[in-house]
Amino acid sequence: MRRHLQRAWTACAAGLLASGLALSAAAAPAHAATAPSEIKIGTLYASSGAFAVPSQSQLQGLKYWAAGVNKTGGVFVKAFDKKIPVKIVAYDDQSSTATATTLYSQLVTQDHVNILMADFGSVLTSVAIPIAAEHHMLLIDPTGSGANFFTRKTNYLADISIPTSAVWPRVLGDFILAHKIKRVAIIYDSNDFDASQATTLKATLEKGGVKPVYYHGVPTSESNYTVLIHTIAASHPDAVIEFGYALNDIAFFHALSGSGLHFNMTFSIFPGQLLALLEKNVGTKALAYTFTYPVPPLVVYNKTNLGPNTAPFVKEWTAATKSAPNALDTAGFNTGLIMQHMLGTAPTFTQLAFHQALIDMSGKTTTLLGEFKINENGAQLGEQLPVAQVVPEGKGLKFVIVYPPNKATGKAIYPAPAH
Amino acid sequence: MALLEYALIGGILYGIFFSLVGIGLNLIFGVMRIINLAHGQFIMLGGFGAYLLARGLGLNPLFGIPLAIAGGIVIGYPLYYGVVPRLQKSQDPEMLSFILFFGIAQMIEAVAVFAFGADQRSLPQDALGSGNIGVLGQEFPDSWWVACLVSVLAILGLYLYFSRTRLGFATRAIMADRDEARATGIDVDRVSAIALIIGIALAGIAGVFVPYLIGSVSSSIGDGLTTTSFAIIIIGSLGNPLGTVVGGLVFGIGTMLMQTYYSSWSNLAPYALLLAIVLVRPSGLLGKAVRRA
């Protein structure tokens, strides 16, 4: 009997020990057991096509960030309480939405990436949004800012490195109203990014009592603006606002400089992001006195609480790559920084926890792109863009921030001198 | 009224240039029944040739014209003898050429990306004149007029080639019936090779002006130009090179009118016209009969 009891106790103790071990194995060491050997960030880039230049810059910025964190052993992942190296899985969509659709799906279903990041711009981001939502993955959206993306609450979309395009032209609108410019022509590409900016600007101007004298869309593929500019001139505008991608801006400035026409104010988006590309194609003379959105690193942030300030970033980037960073390089890098913070604060390794981590840092974080502030729809409401003017300096051009007054580095030259 | 005039004159200039863009494709199809899907890529190469001459050597981009002709010979001759006779022997040369030239187009584009990168390149704005020339009070940049003039000369040259030279007669005979032409003693391969060279050279010449008419040249513009060229030659008449002029004019005027009055829909215009014309007149505006495939 005694021996029987002794056996029973031994069995019980062994059972308890075994279950205790099992429990402890399922608790703390579970992290180590399930932690991936690398954090796979899946994204796309365009080696060719209309978005190749900005897309490759964005990827370069991300790679620069990844190389930096991997040098220190990887990114800290709170859910596993350890650093894990980052691996970027990137496919070439050739600026095609059809190809991008297939490749985004491949990243999710075949490569099983841990984080899904969109390619540059609204056009190539638009096809990623439904795929991410369908697979319950958070889409990290660096530069897709079309206002239509952010019309309802979602856990699966976060606009990281560029404000939603509905916000972009507010300062521009205020600038136009402050300068009492009454005749405004707006020509825009018919895509989410540009059309939503046109809508916001029109609304802002109309609120201030200015009704645009010309307000028309053109196809995103538009490459000849000669007749369009002539049609715009027939409405006698003081300011011509052209919302397009870099390819459109090049064609627009070519046509404008060849037309012999002059407007008191000309605004376009990409001189502030890809000045070197624009300058190479249309020359400094055609760009002189153009107004634009200056995007960091042109706008300097000296008091960040996440990542480097602008100056050291520019210095380190230039030393590493032998060229100064442009806006899209910076956007790619900033996206990496935000993801790093997200992984470092999300308590579990799930997409919903990632999203919550982004919401938690919203309004409390300043990077070299400015204040990071997203709403429940995933729209970026921080990182506001001022208005700058491209002014001749020697043989080149420099940016002068002209509005709002608290950020201005100089006064606007209006009307712009004819050249 | 002034806007309408401007759109019409602009449309004619733009359309004549686009006749040049499309005419090489139509010539090659008319003579060889080959669908040259790499046509836009040959135009792109012409643009990059002019870019290299202008930016690299400081020459006027117009030197790109003889370069395009030389390029036509260097590319067209081996391409013909390496590919076309084999295609002609197949059961379905049109479909096979479709696939083969698609591959060639992709290869050219990949090589262009490798050589020139993915970004846009432009030519010096004032190289073809920095002023404007007016007609009926409507002014257009000098570069448009130069592009139009060169296009007219190239098309006129092609017309004279067809109507005044023995090679041109032989080319027309082959376009009418390849086998009968061979039976009458025409050296079909030699004449066809020359047609391919001319077709590629015309594409290259058009490429010289692409940076002026569509803003810039980049390695990815080829497919779009091929598609536009197809629309133009089908509007005019598939297989009839001179019908391309009509197609180009319809395309140019249609596009510019749409830009003036309904700009959002301007890139729809050529394809809407294409649909309408094919439905009403399947052989194209200048087609005499439905072509024989």
Rounded distance between C-alpha atoms, residue B9 and residue B213, angstroms: 14
Is residue A398 pLDDT above 80, yes or no? yes
Residues A259, A311, single domain; the answer is no
Residue after which a domain boundary falls, among A372, A395, A414: A372
The predicted pLDDT at position B254 comes to 92
Let me know whether A242 and A157 are in one domain: no
A271 and A394: one domain? yes
Q: What is the pLDDT of residue B86?
A: 86
Mean pLDDT of A228-249: 95
Two structure tokens written together for A184? 């405004």
Token pair of B65 as six digits: 């014209």
Q: So what's the pLDDT on residue B223?
A: 92
Tell me the mean pLDDT in the region A323-340.
Answer: 95
CA distances from A280 to A50, A284, B120, B161 (A): 16, 8, 9, 40
Phi, psi angle pair for B136, to nearest 5°: 55, 35
Same domain for A257 and A190? yes
Structural domain of A366: 35-164+301-372
Average pLDDT of span A169-190: 96
Tell me what the mean pLDDT of segment A180-202 comes to: 94
Cα separation, B91 vs B226, whole angstroms = 25
Query: B119: which chain A residues are within 8 Å (Cβ-Cβ)?
Result: 52-53, 277
pLDDT band at A7 (very low <50, low <70, confident <90, very high): low
Per-residue pLDDT tens over the stretch A15-31: 444 444 444 444 443 44
For the four alpha carbons of B136, B140, B146 and B148, in that order, the dihedral sign comes to negative
Of residues A87 and B135, more confidently modeled: A87
Taking CA–CA distances from A221, the nearest residue in chain B reads B267
- The residue range of the domain holding B229 is 2-108+143-280
Comparing B277 with A233, which gets the higher pLDDT? A233
My answer on whether A55 and A102 are in the same domain is: yes
- A228 and A323: one domain? no
Please tell me the predicted confidence (pLDDT) of residue A21: 42
DSSP letters spanning B169-195: HHHHHHHH-HHHHHHTT--HHHHHHHH
Chain B nearest CA to A128, separation (Å)? 23
Q: Name the pLDDT band for A5 (thresholds 50, 70, 90).
A: very low
Using the beta-carbon criterion (under 8 Å), do A187 and B263 form an inter-chain contact? yes
| Domain CATH code at residue A113 | 3.40.50.2300
Query: What's the CA gap between A180 and A183, in Å, rounded?
Result: 9
Task: Tell whether B113 is covered by a domain.
Answer: no
Q: Does residue A159 share a domain with residue A45?
A: yes
B167 to B195, B241, B259, B277: CA distances (angstroms)? 9, 16, 42, 32
- Cβ of B120 within 8 Å of Cβ of A281? The answer is yes
Distance between B201 CA and the closest CA of chain A, angstroms: 24
ipTM: 0.85
Q: Which ranges of chain B have pLDDT less than 50? A: 290-293
- The whole-angstrom distance between residue B133's C-alpha and the CA centroid of its chain comes to 25
Does residue A12 sit within a domain? no
Amino acid identity of B191? V
Domain count, chain B: 1
Summarize the confidence of residues A253-274 as an average pLDDT: 93
CA distance B185 to A359: 80
Query: CA of A418, closest CA in chain B: separation in Å?
Result: 15
Question: Are A173 and A271 part of one and the same domain?
Answer: yes
Q: What is the pLDDT of residue A30?
A: 42
Q: Which is nearest to B182 in space by CA: B273, B283, B88, B276?
A: B88
Is 80 exceeded by the pLDDT of residue A13?
Answer: no
The answer to which of A7-21, A308-322, B219-233 has the lowest mean pLDDT is A7-21
A154 plus A79 within the same structural domain? yes
pLDDT bin (cut points 50, 70, 90) of residue A234 is very high
Specify whether the CB–CB gap between A322 and A299 falls below 8 A: no
Closest residue by Cα to residue A92 from A59, A131, A61, A116: A59
Higher pLDDT, A387 or B281: A387
Please answer whether residues B48 and B58 qualify as being in contact, where contact means their C-beta atoms are separated by less than 8 angstroms: no
- Least Cα distance to A389 among A366, A358, A369, A411 occurs for A411
The per-residue pLDDT for A27 is 40
Other Cβ atoms less than 10 A from the Cβ of A171: the count is 18
Question: Smallest CA–CA separation between B119 and chain A, in Å?
Answer: 6
Asked, for residue B53, whether it belongs to a domain, the answer is yes
Supply the pLDDT for residue B288. Answer: 62
Asked whether residue A25 is assigned to any structural domain, the reply reads: no
How sure is the predictor about A9, in pLDDT bands with cuts at 50, 70 and 90?
very low
- Indicate yes or no: CB of B141 within 8 angstroms of CB of A277: no
Task: Give the count of domains, chain A.
Answer: 2
Asked if A254 lies within 8 A of B263 by C-beta distance, the reply is no
Contact between A231 and B259 using a beta-carbon 8 Å cutoff: yes
CA B110 to chain centre: 21
Cβ of A282 within 8 Å of Cβ of B122? The answer is yes
Tell me, yes or no, whether A213 and A261 share the same domain: yes
| Chain B CB contacts of A49 below 8 Å | 118, 220
CB contact under 8 A, B212 and A246: no
Tell whether A13 is covered by a domain: no
CATH value at residue B248? 1.10.3470
A62 shares a domain with A107:
yes
Q: In chain A, pLDDT over 90 holds for what percent of residues?
A: 77
CB B92 within 8 A of CB B24: no
Determine, yes or no, domain membership for A282: yes
- Does residue B270 fall inside a structural domain? yes
pLDDT at B137: 83
Residue pair A362/A347 in contact (Cβ under 8 Å)? The answer is: no
pLDDT, tens digit, 9 for 90 and up, residues A33-82 = 589 999 999 999 999 888 898 999 999 999 999 999 999 999 999 999 99
pLDDT given for residue A300 in this prediction: 86
